[in-house]
Structure 1
Amino acid sequence: MNFKLCVAMSLLSFTLADCVSAQQLSSQQDIYVVNQKAKNLTVSWSGGSKTVEGVVGSQGETTKALVTFDGKKALRYENLASSSAFEAYFTLVRHGNDIFVDCIYTNVRNNQNGMLINKAVCGLEKPLIEDYEDLVYEFTDEWKNSTAEIDLDPLLKTPPAPLEVEEADFGNVKLSRIYKTQEDLSSSVPETVINNGSKKYSFGMGLVFPVYRFGNLSSPAYLEVSAGDSSKKFIRYDAASLSELL
């Protein structure tokens, strides 16, 4: 935005300071470009750029692609070789001249019983390298182990009875997934609810992620809920705002 245009805009509804701010914001935006043939990602900004090799592309039954997720640039990793659905999103952030993985969001099934694992961990600050996808297994292995012993008998009855599995604790508010049919263990998504005693609120069958801070996988820091389009910024709830829903 040049000076003459800024002055013209200021005569309408903008001040000159607004124009300067807009110019600075534009210059600070990072540009992400994928080279599919070379399988690399280049991030450019005013004054520099960084290329990371081998972080996108397909090989065998795995796919890595640049997407927008939760309003941020992210790398989507899908492993079709897994015996159950395995998808993860790695949101990216730049600090200085380097690119880092900030958060990992998982859309994974326990390969023993089909329990859905929609969870996330943030504050990783791990450098983006070729084998970045290996980061996710530290968390998914633990989360799968925690759901391995859940009794599925209610869903195996005829007719099936709903199975409510408590997943996270936000103080007085508990988060659960309700599996109503056997399909909820494979091809469909269980209902996600929060409750405090008899009070209950449903988020429906959308993407709902308890988000943990790196180093503390026992207590979620907050909850993030997609409004339907996962590329858009998620709605964030802390313990207090979750209580207000009940």
Structure 2
Amino acid sequence: MTKYFPLLLSLLLLACSKAASREIVSGQTPRSIILRDSNSEVTYKNIVGDKEGFDRKLITINDSPALRASARYKFYYTLTPKENEILIDCAYFDVRNIYNGTRVSTAICGLNTQLTENYDEIAQDYSNTWRESFFSFDTKEIFETGIGKDFFLGKIGEIEIFDRYPSANSLENSAPQKIIKSRSGCFNFADAVGFLVFINKDNPTLHYLDVLRSEDPLRLQRMQEQDLKKIAVKKCT
């Protein structure tokens, strides 16, 4: 067995090298992107560029390839190369709820959906559904009184997550503050955008809070229940 170990190690290193060399880049054909490695290229047409009012671009999220589709609202899609195809792992949406003026910043991960030119419909479908469900709370009182209010969004383990609209102006500008509450206290993310991240496209369950830390380049900080517990220790106000 010992004499075969160097050969096995070489094969493993070669396999890792090939996997690492796979990349997603802009294509020479207009509106296309390319999945390529040292041996082959696969072209995906009609992925970037204008489409029905959306400006679609190849970007990075946390230094990994992603797509952004933006118009009045913003949609992001993380990409995963797998063998000779590109899969969409997560779809993020940052939109305004037309029903009550609230901001809907959420994501669905674990999609494992093959990339097609109609990928932008994924986030739109989910955002439309969630705008009508747990983001459909009544905000009329804030407009009438001008007094702020917290709205419960969901739980990650023992952590409760709220959107706080401190005033009518914050609601008019669709600018909530993410508030988390634990048994030990609270934490206010202030102006930072927090995406509620759901897993399992067939039966979505809330697992993470992804906090936007930078827009150019785009960087998200993924926070799990234990991460949130560590900071939710301040006095609740």
Is 1:110 matched up with 2:97? yes
Q: Residue 104 of structure 1 contacts residue 121 of structure 1 at CA under 8 Å; is this kept in 2?
A: yes
5+ unaligned residues in a row in structure 2: which ranges? 1-8, 233-237
Aligned residues: 221
Q: Residue 224 of structure 1 contacts residue 236 of structure 1 at CA under 8 Å; is this kept in 2?
A: yes
5+ unaligned residues in a row in structure 1: which ranges? 1-16
For 1:119, the aligned partner's letter is T
Is 1:140 matched up with 2:127? yes
Listed as ranges, the matches of 1:77-92 within 5 Å are: 77-78=69-70, 80=71, 85-92=72-79
Q: Which residue of 2 aligns with 1:129?
A: 116
Matched position secondary structure for 1:206: coil
Of the candidates 215, 229, 234, which is equivalent to residue 243 of structure 1?
229
Q: Which residue of 2 aligns with 1:44?
A: 36
Alpha-carbon offset, residue 100 of structure 1? 0.8
Matched position secondary structure for 1:220: strand
Q: What is the aligned-residue identity percentage? A: 23
Distance 1:33 1:213 in 2: 27
Is 1:225 matched up with 2:211? yes
For 2:154, the aligned partner's letter is A
Alpha-carbon offset, residue 191 of structure 1? 0.8
Q: Which residue of 1 aligns with 2:195?
A: 209
CA offsets 1:40-87 (integer angstroms, 9 cap, x no match): 111212222211111110134221111112332111112x4xxxx421
Matched position secondary structure for 1:162: strand
For 1:124, the aligned partner's letter is L
Q: Residue 105 of structure 1 contacts residue 118 of structure 1 at CA under 8 Å; is this kept in 2?
A: yes
Q: Which residue of 2 aligns with 1:176?
A: 162
Q: Which residue of 2 aligns with 1:62?
A: 54
Q: Residue 96 of structure 2 contacts residue 174 of structure 2 at CA under 8 Å; is this kept in 1?
A: no
Is 1:167 matched up with 2:143? no
Of the candidates 138, 141, 144, which is equivalent to residue 157 of structure 1?
144
Question: TM-score, normalization: structure 2?
Answer: 0.82
Distance 2:135 2:230 in 1: 32
